[in-house]
Structure 1
Amino acid sequence: MTTSAPRPRRLQGADVGIPPRQLDFRLPEKLAPWAYADNATATLFLAMLSAIFPPGEDFFVRSVVHFRDRVQGDEDLRARVAGFTAQEVIHSREHDRLNGVFQERGFPVEVPEKAVAAALTVLHRTSPRLQLACTALMEHFTAVLAEDILSTDEFRERVDADITELWLWHALEELEHKSVTYDVYEVIGTSERERRLAVPLVLATVGVAALYGWGYLLVQQGVWRRPADLREGWRLMFGRGQFMRRVLTRMPVFNHPRFHPDKHDTRELEQRWREILFGTEGSLTEQLRRPPQR
C-alpha cells in the first residue's frame, strides 16, 4: 500500500511579512475630555477617523477579495492577500472597540460611520475594477497617514496615551500591507484612466461623508460656538507643516504613470516599530495573543 506524500503547507500572511496579530488592547473605560492636544476640534477629527475605518476596511477587503481567483497562481501574492484581509478585519474590530470608548465619552461616532457606509454604497455601484482603483487610492492615503504617525513624535506627543498604542499598531500594519491592493490591481491590468477617475469619485463620496461626519460632531458637541478652538484645531490638523497637511501633500503621486506604493521604501521604519511594539521588550508583546502551535 502506497502512501501519498504530504501536501505542502500553503503560505500564510505571516510567512510573507503580513502577520495578523490578535491583540487585547487595554482601552480606557473613560477617555480624557479632549484626547488630541487638549483640543476639541482635533479630537473630534480623530474620532471621526476612527469611526470611518470599519466601513472603509470592509470595502477594501471586498474589493480585493473579488479578484482573489486571479491571484491563485501566485502563491506569494495569494498569501499577502490573506494577510491583508486578516489584518483589516482585526483593524475593524479594534476600531469598533475604540469607537465604543468615544461613544461613552458622548461622541455619536455612529453618524460619520453610517455616512461613510452610505457613501461607499455609491462606489459599490461602479465596476469591480474601479472599486479596486478606489481602494488602491484609499490604501495609499492610509499608508501615508501611517508613515507620518510612525516617523514623527507629533502624534504620540499630542494623543492621549490610553489610545496611542492602538493607532501605532494599526499604522505599522498599514505599512506592512500597503502594496497588496495595488499588486492585485497590476495583476488584472492597471488603468491610468481608472486611477484618475478614482480621485474625484472618492473625494465626492467618502471625502464629503467624512467631512459631514466631522461637522456633525462639532455641532453636536457645541464646538462650532468656540471659534478659538476651531481655529486651533484646524491649525493642528491642516496648518502649514501640520499632520493632515503633510499627508495630503503626498497624495497626488498616486496619479503618476509609474506609481507603485513600494517605490517609497518604509521597510526600515516598519522593522523599527515591529521591535518597539512586538520585540522582546515590546510595549504590546504581552497583549499579543499568539496562535496555537500546529
Structure 2
Amino acid sequence: MNTKFQPAIEARKDIDFGLDADFPKYWNAGDAFKTRIMDALQLSFPDGERYFISSVRAFRDRITDPKLQHDVKEFTMQEAQHGIAHTKFNDLLAAQGMPMETILNELKEYIKRDQNKYSDEFNLALTAAYEHFTALLAETFFSRKEVSAGIHPKMRAMLAWHAIEEMEHRSVAFNVMKNVAKVGYIKRCLAMIIATRHTTKVMFDYADVLLKTDGYNWFQRRMMFMKNLNWMYGRKGILSSMLPKLLMYFRPSFHPEDIPVIHNYGEWVRVYDSTGNPHEACDALLAAAY
C-alpha cells in the first residue's frame, strides 16, 4: 500500500484571476516565444478537460469503492472549473487577433477522432497519461522561484491554482484505469508515448501558428526556437526537468503517489483557505519555493 501523503481533492469554484483586456500580450517575461509556447499548451485545456471528464465518467457505473466514487466526483468538478478559467483566457487570445475559432475546431476534431478511434479503456489510459504530465507541470513551474519569476502575476496565480488541483486529483484517472478498467502495463505505456507526442505536437504546432499570426516570419520563428533551446531542454529546462519523473510512469509498479507533492503545496492551501485570494496563495507558494 502506498503510504505517501496525498492531499484531499477540493474543487474551488468561481475564482477571479483578474484577466481582462488590459492583460499584456507577451505575459511570460515579455518574451514572444515563451509566451506563445505556454499559450499553445493551455489553449488545449478546455477541450482536453472535457475529454478527461468523459473518459473517466465512462466507467463510473462500474466503480463500487465509495472513496473512488467521491474522488471521481471531485475530479470532475475541478476539471470543469479549469475548463471555465482557460476558456476565458482563450477568449483573450481571440481578442488579440489569434485564430482561436480555427484552432479550437481543429482540437475538437482531434479529440473526437481519438474518442472514436480508441476504446473506452484506451481513452482512459490516455487521460491517466495526460494527468501525469500536467501534474508534473506543477513541480516544473512552482517548486523553484526562478521558473515562474517572469510570468505576469495574474497568469501565475491561475497557473498555480491549476497546478495545485492537478496534484490533488493526479491519481483519480490512474486508479479508475488500473482498478476498474483493468488496463494492463503495455497499454498504459503505449498511452503515455502517444500522450507525450500529442502534447508536444500541439504545443509546438500551435505556438508556431500564434507566432506567425503575430507577424513573425519563418526564419524569425526558427531563431526563436534555437534561442530558447536551453530554456526548454537545458539542465533545468521546463521540459527536460520533467523527464526523470515522466519516465517513472514506465515502471511496472508505478503509482502517481510515488512522487511527493511539491514541498510548498501546503503554503498555497493554507493561505487560500484563510483568504480566498488566489494571488496571495500564489505569493505564499513562491515564497516557500527553492
Both structures adopt the same fold (TM-score exceeding 0.5) = yes
- Alignment match of 1:235 (pick from 216, 220, 230): 230
Q: CA deviation at 1:54?
A: 0.8
The AA in structure 2 aligned to 1:222 is G
Out of 219-228 and 89-98, give the one that drifted further: 219-228
- Which whole-Å deviations, capped at 9, do the CAs of 1:212-260 have from their partners, x for residues lacking one? 2222112222334435544333432333311122124432211110110
Q: CA deviation at 1:50?
A: 1.6
- Structure 1 residue runs of 5 or longer lacking an equivalent are 1-15, 288-294
Q: Indicate the SS of the match to 2:36.
A: helix
Matched, 1:198 2:191: yes
Q: Is the 8 A contact 1:41 1:234 kept in 2?
A: no
Partner of 2:287: none
CA gap of 1:234–1:103, structure 2 versus 1, over 3 A, is farther
Q: CA deviation at 1:180?
A: 0.5
Q: CA deviation at 1:102?
A: 2.1
Spell out the pairing of 1:176-215 with structure 2 (5 A cutoff). Answer: 176-188=168-180, 189-203=182-196, 205-215=198-208
Q: How many corresponding residue pairs?
A: 270
Separation in structure 1 between the aligned mates of residue 236 and residue 92 of structure 2, nearest angstrom: 30
Spell out the pairing of 1:86-235 with structure 2 (5 A cutoff). Answer: 86-124=77-115, 125-188=117-180, 189-203=182-196, 205-223=198-216, 224-226=218-220, 228-235=223-230
Partner of 2:46: 54
- Segments of 4+ moved more than 6 angstroms: none
- Which whole-Å deviations, capped at 9, do the CAs of 1:161-189 have from their partners, x for residues lacking one? 13211111001000010101111112222
Q: CA deviation at 1:203?
A: 4.4
- Alignment match of 2:29 (pick from 27, 30, 37): 37
* Structure of larger gyration radius: 1
CA gap of 1:78–1:252, structure 2 versus 1, over 3 A, is same
Separation in structure 2 between the aligned mates of residue 202 and residue 120 of structure 1, nearest angstrom: 12
Partner of 2:288: none
- TM-score scaled by length of structure 1: 0.83
The AA in structure 2 aligned to 1:218 is L
Q: In percent, how many aligned pairs have the same letter?
A: 28
Separation in structure 2 between the aligned mates of residue 215 and residue 153 of structure 1, nearest angstrom: 28
Partner of 2:261: 266
Out of 138-147 and 150-159, give the one that drifted further: 150-159
RMSD: 2.4
Separation in structure 2 between the aligned mates of residue 247 and residue 266 of structure 1, nearest angstrom: 14
Q: Indicate the SS of the match to 1:30.
A: coil
- Alignment match of 2:278 (pick from 268, 284, 293): 284
- Which whole-Å deviations, capped at 9, do the CAs of 1:145-174 have from their partners, x for residues lacking one? 122222111343121113211111001000
Matched, 1:63 2:55: yes
Separation in structure 1 between the aligned mates of residue 198 and residue 240 of structure 2, nearest angstrom: 20
Q: Is the 8 A contact 1:134 1:199 kept in 2?
A: yes
Partner of 2:4: none
